[in-house]
Copies of this chain bind each other. A is one copy, B any other.
Amino acid sequence: MSKIEEFNKERADYNEVLAKYANRQQKTFYGLDAKTYEGGALNKKTKELLGFTSSLVLRCDDCILYHLIECAKSGVTSEELSEAVSIGMLVGGSITIPHIRRAMKIWDEELAPE
């Protein structure tokens, strides 16, 4: 099983537990989370890049990986991703580098289009 399959499986598994204990407010929040990245005035690809870079500067590996997968699905190229990474690295500093390492590793192994 690839790292991404493993991530998706664990995510699905954990989401069942989340659903079990979620109150109405949390359910609204999860619904909002899905809605917010749908294409609108900004297209899906731009929104996923925004989600990716936000996750990068806040340094959350799971969030980074989630948006990385969505970036790949939306047709982001390696060069485009690299420019988004540059912005996150510049804004967020060298403290983001370990997260970038892990992101690019999985991009290289399982997601890069070429």
Contacts and interface: CB of A to CB of B under 8 A. Distances in A.
A100 B50 CA distance: 16
Interface residues of A, number: 68
Interface of A, secondary structure class, is helix
Contacts of A91: 51, 54-55, 58, 63, 93-95
A66 to B, nearest CB: 9
| Stoichiometry, copies per complex | 6
A104 B54 CA distance: 19
A68 interface: no
Interface in A48-71: 49-51, 53-63
A108 B100 CA distance: 29
Interface of A: 11, 14-15, 17-18, 20-26, 28-29, 31-33, 35-37, 40-42, 46-47, 49-51, 53-63, 77-98, 100-102, 104-105, 107-108
The 3 closest A-B pairs by CB, nearest first: A93-B93, A62-B98, A14-B101
